Protein backbone atom coordinates (compact mmCIF):
# COMPACT_ATOMS: atom_id res chain seq x y z
CA UNK A 1 0.00 0.00 0.00
CA UNK A 2 1.30 3.42 -0.96
CA UNK A 3 0.93 6.14 1.68
CA UNK A 4 0.09 9.65 0.54
CA UNK A 5 1.91 12.83 1.56
CA UNK A 6 2.05 16.34 0.12
CA UNK A 7 3.36 19.85 0.49
CA UNK A 8 0.91 22.73 0.89
CA UNK A 9 1.72 26.26 -0.20
CA UNK A 10 0.44 29.24 -2.17
CA UNK A 11 2.04 29.42 -4.68
CA UNK A 12 3.55 25.96 -4.75
CA UNK A 13 4.56 25.22 -8.36
CA UNK A 14 8.21 26.08 -7.65
CA UNK A 15 8.52 23.60 -4.76
CA UNK A 16 11.37 21.10 -4.81
CA UNK A 17 9.76 19.00 -2.08
CA UNK A 18 8.14 16.41 -4.42
CA UNK A 19 11.49 15.72 -6.08
CA UNK A 20 13.28 15.55 -2.72
CA UNK A 21 10.82 13.10 -1.18
CA UNK A 22 10.66 10.99 -4.34
CA UNK A 23 14.44 10.64 -4.08
CA UNK A 24 14.21 9.77 -0.38
CA UNK A 25 11.55 7.14 -1.11
CA UNK A 26 13.61 5.54 -3.86
CA UNK A 27 16.70 5.53 -1.68
CA UNK A 28 14.98 3.96 1.35
CA UNK A 29 12.48 1.69 -0.41
CA UNK A 30 9.54 3.40 1.29
CA UNK A 31 6.26 3.22 -0.67
CA UNK A 32 4.98 6.78 -0.68
CA UNK A 33 3.28 9.17 -3.07
CA UNK A 34 4.16 12.83 -2.56
CA UNK A 35 2.46 15.69 -4.40
CA UNK A 36 2.23 19.49 -4.26
CA UNK A 37 -1.12 21.11 -3.41
CA UNK A 38 -1.90 24.80 -3.73
CA UNK A 39 -4.28 25.46 -0.84
CA UNK A 40 -6.68 28.43 -0.81
CA UNK A 41 -5.21 31.31 1.13
CA UNK A 42 -8.36 31.58 3.25
CA UNK A 43 -8.95 27.88 3.93
CA UNK A 44 -5.79 25.98 4.69
CA UNK A 45 -7.54 23.96 7.38
CA UNK A 46 -10.14 22.81 4.87
CA UNK A 47 -7.45 21.74 2.43
CA UNK A 48 -5.69 19.67 5.10
CA UNK A 49 -8.96 18.07 6.27
CA UNK A 50 -9.85 17.11 2.70
CA UNK A 51 -6.41 15.60 2.14
CA UNK A 52 -6.56 13.67 5.42
CA UNK A 53 -10.09 12.43 4.69
CA UNK A 54 -8.85 11.07 1.37
CA UNK A 55 -6.19 9.04 3.19
CA UNK A 56 -3.34 11.52 3.46
CA UNK A 57 -0.86 10.54 6.16
CA UNK A 58 1.15 13.74 6.46
CA UNK A 59 2.22 16.97 4.85
CA UNK A 60 4.86 19.61 4.68
CA UNK A 61 3.66 23.19 5.00
CA UNK A 62 5.32 26.23 3.49
CA UNK A 63 4.44 29.92 3.17
CA UNK A 64 1.96 31.33 3.91
CA UNK A 65 0.42 28.51 5.97
CA UNK A 66 2.84 27.63 8.78
CA UNK A 67 0.96 29.63 11.40
CA UNK A 68 -2.40 28.26 10.22
CA UNK A 69 -0.98 24.74 10.47
CA UNK A 70 0.13 25.51 14.02
CA UNK A 71 -3.42 26.51 14.98
CA UNK A 72 -5.16 23.43 13.60
CA UNK A 73 -3.05 20.76 15.33
CA UNK A 74 -4.40 18.51 18.07
CA UNK A 75 -0.89 18.08 19.50
CA UNK A 76 2.40 19.93 19.02
CA UNK A 77 6.06 19.06 19.50
CA UNK A 78 8.11 21.23 21.82
CA UNK A 79 10.00 22.72 18.87
CA UNK A 80 6.72 23.60 17.13
CA UNK A 81 5.49 25.31 20.30
CA UNK A 82 8.70 27.31 20.45
CA UNK A 83 8.52 28.27 16.78
CA UNK A 84 4.77 29.00 16.95
CA UNK A 85 4.71 27.56 13.47
CA UNK A 86 4.37 24.10 11.92
CA UNK A 87 6.02 22.87 8.74
CA UNK A 88 5.27 19.15 9.22
CA UNK A 89 1.85 17.59 9.81
CA UNK A 90 1.43 13.97 10.88
CA UNK A 91 -1.89 12.13 10.98
CA UNK A 92 -1.67 9.44 13.64
CA UNK A 93 -3.53 6.13 13.87
CA UNK A 94 -6.28 7.74 15.95
CA UNK A 95 -6.87 10.33 13.23
CA UNK A 96 -5.40 13.19 15.25
CA UNK A 97 -3.20 15.84 13.63
CA UNK A 98 0.22 16.30 15.21
CA UNK A 99 2.44 19.23 14.27
CA UNK A 100 6.20 19.63 14.27
CA UNK A 101 8.75 22.13 12.99
CA UNK A 102 11.85 20.69 11.32
CA UNK A 103 13.37 23.92 9.97
CA UNK A 104 15.83 24.40 12.82
CA UNK A 105 16.85 20.76 12.78
CA UNK A 106 17.49 21.06 9.05
CA UNK A 107 19.69 24.11 9.54
CA UNK A 108 21.73 22.64 12.41
CA UNK A 109 22.18 19.36 10.53
CA UNK A 110 23.45 21.25 7.47
CA UNK A 111 25.88 23.25 9.58
CA UNK A 112 27.19 20.02 11.15
CA UNK A 113 27.48 18.36 7.75
CA UNK A 114 29.57 21.27 6.52
CA UNK A 115 31.75 21.29 9.64
CA UNK A 116 30.56 24.65 10.97
CA UNK A 117 31.07 24.60 14.77
CA UNK A 118 28.28 25.98 16.95
CA UNK A 119 29.47 25.13 20.45
CA UNK A 120 31.12 28.23 21.98
CA UNK A 121 30.70 30.16 18.72
CA UNK A 122 29.62 33.78 18.54
CA UNK A 123 26.49 33.73 16.38
CA UNK A 124 24.58 36.56 14.70
CA UNK A 125 21.14 35.94 13.20
CA UNK A 126 19.70 38.59 10.89
CA UNK A 127 15.92 38.94 10.86
CA UNK A 128 13.13 38.34 13.39
CA UNK A 129 10.39 36.71 11.35
CA UNK A 130 9.02 33.19 11.32
CA UNK A 131 12.08 31.72 9.62
CA UNK A 132 14.31 32.94 12.42
CA UNK A 133 11.91 31.95 15.22
CA UNK A 134 11.90 28.42 13.85
CA UNK A 135 15.69 27.98 14.16
CA UNK A 136 16.59 29.71 17.43
CA UNK A 137 15.88 26.82 19.80
CA UNK A 138 18.02 24.27 17.90
CA UNK A 139 20.81 26.84 17.53
CA UNK A 140 20.79 27.62 21.25
CA UNK A 141 20.70 23.91 22.09
CA UNK A 142 24.16 23.67 20.51
CA UNK A 143 25.43 26.00 23.26
CA UNK A 144 27.01 28.88 21.38
CA UNK A 145 28.92 31.42 23.46
CA UNK A 146 26.24 33.93 22.56
CA UNK A 147 23.57 34.58 19.95
CA UNK A 148 22.48 38.04 18.87
CA UNK A 149 19.32 38.66 16.83
CA UNK A 150 19.40 41.83 14.72
CA UNK A 151 16.44 43.20 12.81
CA UNK A 152 15.40 46.39 11.06
CA UNK A 153 12.65 46.75 13.68
CA UNK A 154 14.56 46.52 16.94
CA UNK A 155 11.52 45.77 19.12
CA UNK A 156 10.81 42.55 17.20
CA UNK A 157 14.37 41.33 17.73
CA UNK A 158 14.27 42.19 21.43
CA UNK A 159 10.94 40.42 21.91
CA UNK A 160 12.23 37.36 20.08
CA UNK A 161 15.37 37.27 22.20
CA UNK A 162 13.29 37.52 25.38
CA UNK A 163 11.12 34.60 24.24
CA UNK A 164 14.20 32.35 24.02
CA UNK A 165 16.25 33.76 26.90
CA UNK A 166 15.65 30.66 29.02
CA UNK A 167 17.56 28.54 26.49
CA UNK A 168 20.90 30.34 26.48
CA UNK A 169 22.82 33.57 26.01
CA UNK A 170 20.65 35.46 23.52
CA UNK A 171 20.19 39.18 22.91
CA UNK A 172 18.40 41.31 20.35
CA UNK A 173 18.32 44.76 18.81
CA UNK A 174 18.37 46.82 15.65
CA UNK A 175 21.03 46.52 12.96
CA UNK A 176 22.86 49.41 14.61
CA UNK A 177 23.53 47.16 17.64
CA UNK A 178 25.63 44.73 15.57
CA UNK A 179 29.27 44.81 16.61
CA UNK A 180 31.56 42.03 15.49
CA UNK A 181 33.34 39.89 15.23
CA UNK A 182 31.12 36.81 14.86
CA UNK A 183 32.05 33.24 14.01
CA UNK A 184 28.75 32.54 12.24
CA UNK A 185 26.34 34.99 10.63
CA UNK A 186 22.98 33.63 9.44
CA UNK A 187 20.82 35.73 7.13
CA UNK A 188 17.18 34.94 7.86
CA UNK A 189 15.78 38.13 6.33
CA UNK A 190 13.92 38.25 3.03
CA UNK A 191 16.32 40.93 1.75
CA UNK A 192 18.03 38.45 -0.58
CA UNK A 193 14.78 38.01 -2.52
CA UNK A 194 14.89 41.67 -3.45
CA UNK A 195 18.62 41.81 -4.03
CA UNK A 196 19.08 43.97 -0.93
CA UNK A 197 21.66 43.85 1.83
CA UNK A 198 21.03 44.67 5.51
CA UNK A 199 23.25 47.48 6.83
CA UNK A 200 26.23 45.61 8.29
CA UNK A 201 29.64 46.71 9.56
CA UNK A 202 32.78 45.79 7.64
CA UNK A 203 34.33 44.11 10.70
CA UNK A 204 31.47 41.63 11.08
CA UNK A 205 33.42 38.40 10.59
CA UNK A 206 36.02 36.80 12.83
CA UNK A 207 38.91 34.97 11.11
CA UNK A 208 37.58 31.72 9.67
CA UNK A 209 33.96 32.83 10.05
CA UNK A 210 31.03 31.40 8.09
CA UNK A 211 28.20 33.32 6.41
CA UNK A 212 24.98 31.35 5.86
CA UNK A 213 22.01 32.58 3.85
CA UNK A 214 18.73 30.70 4.32
CA UNK A 215 17.93 31.60 0.70
CA UNK A 216 19.53 29.76 -2.20
CA UNK A 217 19.80 29.94 -5.95
CA UNK A 218 21.95 29.19 -8.95
CA UNK A 219 24.08 32.23 -8.08
CA UNK A 220 25.18 33.49 -4.65
CA UNK A 221 22.86 35.98 -2.96
CA UNK A 222 23.84 39.62 -2.44
CA UNK A 223 24.55 38.82 1.21
CA UNK A 224 26.86 35.94 0.33
CA UNK A 225 28.70 37.99 -2.29
CA UNK A 226 29.25 40.72 0.30
CA UNK A 227 30.35 38.16 2.91
CA UNK A 228 32.84 36.55 0.53
CA UNK A 229 34.34 39.95 -0.19
CA UNK A 230 34.80 40.37 3.57
CA UNK A 231 36.61 37.07 4.01
CA UNK A 232 33.87 34.71 5.16
CA UNK A 233 33.25 31.15 4.06
CA UNK A 234 29.85 31.21 2.33
CA UNK A 235 27.00 28.67 2.42
CA UNK A 236 23.45 28.92 1.11
CA UNK A 237 20.21 27.38 2.37
CA UNK A 238 19.80 24.48 -0.06
CA UNK A 239 21.21 22.09 2.53
CA UNK A 240 18.74 23.41 5.10
CA UNK A 241 15.88 22.72 2.68
CA UNK A 242 16.96 19.11 2.14
CA UNK A 243 17.77 18.69 5.83
CA UNK A 244 14.34 19.77 7.05
CA UNK A 245 12.75 17.46 4.46
CA UNK A 246 14.84 14.54 5.74
CA UNK A 247 13.68 15.24 9.29
CA UNK A 248 10.05 15.28 8.12
CA UNK A 249 10.58 12.00 6.25
CA UNK A 250 11.99 10.48 9.43
CA UNK A 251 8.96 11.62 11.46
CA UNK A 252 6.61 10.02 8.94
CA UNK A 253 8.47 6.82 8.11
CA UNK A 254 10.91 6.17 10.96
CA UNK A 255 13.75 6.02 8.43
CA UNK A 256 16.44 8.69 8.11
CA UNK A 257 17.52 9.17 4.47
CA UNK A 258 21.00 10.14 3.32
CA UNK A 259 20.75 13.76 2.21
CA UNK A 260 24.15 13.89 0.47
CA UNK A 261 23.24 12.43 -2.96
CA UNK A 262 19.88 14.25 -3.01
CA UNK A 263 21.52 17.56 -2.21
CA UNK A 264 24.16 16.99 -4.90
CA UNK A 265 21.48 16.26 -7.51
CA UNK A 266 19.52 19.39 -6.58
CA UNK A 267 22.65 21.51 -6.73
CA UNK A 268 23.44 20.28 -10.23
CA UNK A 269 19.89 21.12 -11.35
CA UNK A 270 19.94 24.75 -10.13
> Is 127 a known ligand-binding residue?
yes
**66 catalytic residue (yes or no):** yes
> Is 151 a known ligand-binding residue?
yes
CA torsion angle 161 112 84 98 (round to 10)? -160
> Is 129 a known ligand-binding residue?
yes
> Is 2 a known ligand-binding residue?
no
Residue 190 has phi, psi (to 5 degrees) of -90, 10
> Is 41 a known ligand-binding residue?
no
Half-sphere exposure of 15 (CA within 13 A, CB side): 23
- Interacting residues of 9 by C-beta distance below 8 A, sequence separation 6+: 15, 36, 38, 39, 61, 62, 63, 64, 65
> Is 206 a known ligand-binding residue?
no
> Is 81 a known ligand-binding residue?
no
Residue length of the chain = 270
Rounded distance between C-alpha atoms, residue 16 and residue 263, angstroms: 11
> Is 17 a known ligand-binding residue?
yes
Q: Which of 25, 34, 58, 66 is catalytic?
A: 66
> Is 244 a known ligand-binding residue?
yes
> Is 155 a known ligand-binding residue?
yes
* 230 DSSP 8-state letter: T
Q: Which residues pair with 32 in a beta bridge?
A: 3
> Is 187 a known ligand-binding residue?
no
> Is 15 a known ligand-binding residue?
yes
What is each CA distance from 14 to 36, 93, 219, 262, in whole angstroms? 10, 32, 17, 17
The neighbour count for residue 132, using CB atoms within 10 Å, is 25
Q: Binding site, residues?
A: 15-17, 62, 78, 87, 103, 127-131, 151-156, 214, 216, 237, 244
Q: Binding site for NADP(+), residues?
A: 78, 127-131, 151-156, 214, 237
**Active site residue ranges:** 66
Q: Binding site for shikimate, residues?
A: 15-17, 62, 87, 103, 216, 244
Amino acid sequence: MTDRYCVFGHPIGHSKSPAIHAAFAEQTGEAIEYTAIEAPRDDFAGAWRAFAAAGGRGANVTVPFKEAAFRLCDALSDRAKRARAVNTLIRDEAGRTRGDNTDGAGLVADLARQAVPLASARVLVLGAGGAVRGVLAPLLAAEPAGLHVANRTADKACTLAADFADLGQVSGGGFETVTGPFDLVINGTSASLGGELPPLPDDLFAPGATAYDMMYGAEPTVFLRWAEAHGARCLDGLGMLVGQAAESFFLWRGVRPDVTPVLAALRRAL
